[in-house]
């Protein structure tokens, strides 16, 4: 298992990318709901444990605010996905969600997370990773 918060977040990103791939192949409602569940857990854990530290200690307030806006957009799509009644609507909403998540992941991995690595010590990053995992476990 990855050690620090950056590794853990990036690991989650890869897992969700694989789930999106499974959905594209299968169109399975169960896989779509698994994507939604994983994203909800990930975003809540980030917002509760990671983003406050990145905002306060790593000076990333603006990036965190933008990331939280993107999380809200994802939550709205997730709500619509959970309510989707037919396969066509489900596929369209999942495509929209995947596009939004891909954009968010790109920004996080090219801007926010590298800055966190530069501003926080390896010990802080590891502790934050443990906090992130604890929050996720509490949500499952």
pLDDT tens-digit readout, 99-118: 999 999 999 999 999 999 99
For domain 5-139, the question of CATH label 1.20.120.520 is answered with: yes
Per domain, the residue ranges of the chain are 5-139
CA 70 to chain centroid: 10
Supply 81's token pair: 């996905």
DSSP-H helix ranges across 27-121 = 29-45, 51-56, 61-83, 87-107, 113-119
Q: What is the rounded average pLDDT of the residues 71-96?
A: 96
pLDDT reading at 1 higher than 80: no
């Amino acid at each position: 298992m990855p050690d620090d918060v950056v590794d853990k977040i990036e690991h989650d990103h890869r897992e969700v990318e694989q789930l999106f791939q499974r959905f594209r192949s299968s169109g399975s409602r169960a896989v779509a709901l698994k994507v939604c569940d994983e994203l909800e857990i990930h975003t809540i854990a980030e917002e509760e444990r990671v983003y406050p530290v990145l905002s306060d200690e790593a000076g990333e307030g603006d990036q965190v605010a933008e990331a939280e806006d993107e999380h809200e957009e994802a939550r709205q799509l997730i709500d619509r996905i959970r309510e989707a009644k037919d396969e066509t609507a489900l596929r369209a909403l999942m495509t929209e969600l995947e596009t939004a998540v891909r954009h968010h992941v790109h920004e996080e991995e090219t801007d926010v997370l590298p800055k966190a690595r530069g501003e926080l010590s390896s010990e802080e990053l590891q502790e934050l990773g443990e906090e992130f995992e604890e929050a996720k476990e509490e949500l499952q």
